[in-house]
Structures are given as C-alpha cells and as structure tokens.
Amino acid sequence: MRPEKILILGGTAEALGAARRLVATGATVVTSLAGRLSDTPAIPGGLRRGGFGGVDGLADYLRREGFARVVDATHPFAATISAHAAEACARLGLPLERVERPMWSKRPGDRWHWAGDMAMAARIAARLGRRVLLTVGAGEMGAFAKAGGPLYVVRLIEPPARRLPLRRYHVLLGRGPFGVAEEVALMRRFRIDLLVTKASGGAATEAKILAARRLAIPVVMVRRPR
C-alpha cells in the first residue's frame, strides 16, 4: 500500500513535532517553510522553502505533487497562509487539520493590556513604558516607529537586514526556548518596565510571560488574528 503523502505548513515547534510523529507512522511528509530564517532545525521528511503564489499556486502544488491531506501548523499570526490553505483544500476536497497551540493563561495579579493590532500596541507602549522589551518580530517595527517614546529592547532571531526604524533601540539576538531565570535576568539587566508580545501561546516562549509575572511587569498582548 502506497504511504499517505502529507504537506505540513510549518515554521513552528508544533510543526516539527507533527513531522516527527507522521514520519514515524511511515507517511511521506513534506514540510513547507516560508524561508524567512536561514538557520532552522533538522526536520524529518522532505523540506520545501518559499511561497506558493497565493491560493491558486498552493492548489496547483497540492494537485501536482499528489498530497492526500494538509496539516496547517503555522504560527497563530500567519493568517494569510492559513486562509489560503483552507481555500485550496476546500477547492480540492482535501482534509485540512489545524494545529493550534494553546494560549497562555492569565493569572491573578497579571497586568495584561490587550491590543487589537500592532498600531494599538505601539500606542499603549508609548504611554505606559520607558524601557520596553519588544518581542513581535522585525517586520512589525513600523508601528512603533510612529509612536516614538520609549527605549525599545528588540529581541530577534537573526540580525536585521537594515537599521530598524526606531528612534532609540537595542537589538538582542537569540532563539528560544528561553528559561525563566534567563528572562528574569534579561529584564533586570535592561531595567524593563513593559513587555510587548503577540498572543502566540505555547511553551517555547512562555518564559517571558512567567518572568514578567515574577517581576510584576505589565504586558501588552496583541490579539491573534481571526
């Protein structure tokens, strides 16, 4: 019997776990990455990098390569590719499974300020923070440049290709998961008084939430897209 061929839309720890589990069952697995980062962990099965060219391109790829189903294990904020996957699979009649990482739990004493989008998060940060730890990705800096104000400590996985459009900032490079003690030390070192993050959830980056809780630092949480 020919093994089932599965496409995983990846780039997350959940996608890596899904690839390992499915390859172990004997399935033919291909993981697709957007290709933004040059350093990625070893992924079992086949690997594909780059975009598909919209819904039509994804549907053509799925049909041409003979995939039996799709697992969408992309980041909770990767709304475009998730929408494209849903439409392409519906068009072809392919099963689509969404792996959604659980959201972090708010505890008594936490001071979370919810933002509907990045522009709103930037306005809140400019009002509440003086030394802000920013963990939203290099592509989101434009909103914070417009708001001005605080010193931003920007954590990125890779060095930015060009100068960030912020008035005052410091770049920290590192790839999670990070430990709680490590995050507490970082926040103390830079005298952080506000954390800005996407409501990504998951265990890999929860340490910053736990560290902010320990230090009684407020958090600006950007809501997930629908």
- List pLDDT tens digits, range 162-214: 899 999 999 999 887 899 999 999 999 999 999 999 999 988 889 999 999 99
| 72 contacts: CB under 8 Å, gap ≥ 6 | 9, 81, 82, 85, 86, 96, 97, 98, 99
Q: pTM of the prediction?
A: 0.83
Which CATH number does 5-98 carry? 3.40.50.11190
Percent of the chain scored above 90 by pLDDT?
77
CB 200 within 8 A of CB 219: no
Q: Cα–Cα–Cα angle for 145, 148, 150, nearest 5°?
A: 115
Q: What residue segments make up the domains of the chain, in order of their start?
A: 5-98, 112-222
- List pLDDT tens digits, range 17-32: 999 999 999 999 999 9
- List pLDDT tens digits, range 136-160: 988 899 999 877 789 999 999 889 9
| 154 contacts: CB under 8 Å, gap ≥ 6 | 134, 138, 141, 164, 166, 169, 170, 171, 172
Q: Are 5-98 and 112-222 in the same CATH fold? A: yes
Arch. (CATH architecture) of 112-222: 3-Layer(aba) Sandwich (3.40)
Cα 121 from Cα 125, distance rounded (Å): 6
CB 65 within 8 A of CB 90: no
Inform me whether the pLDDT recorded for 1 exceeds 70: no
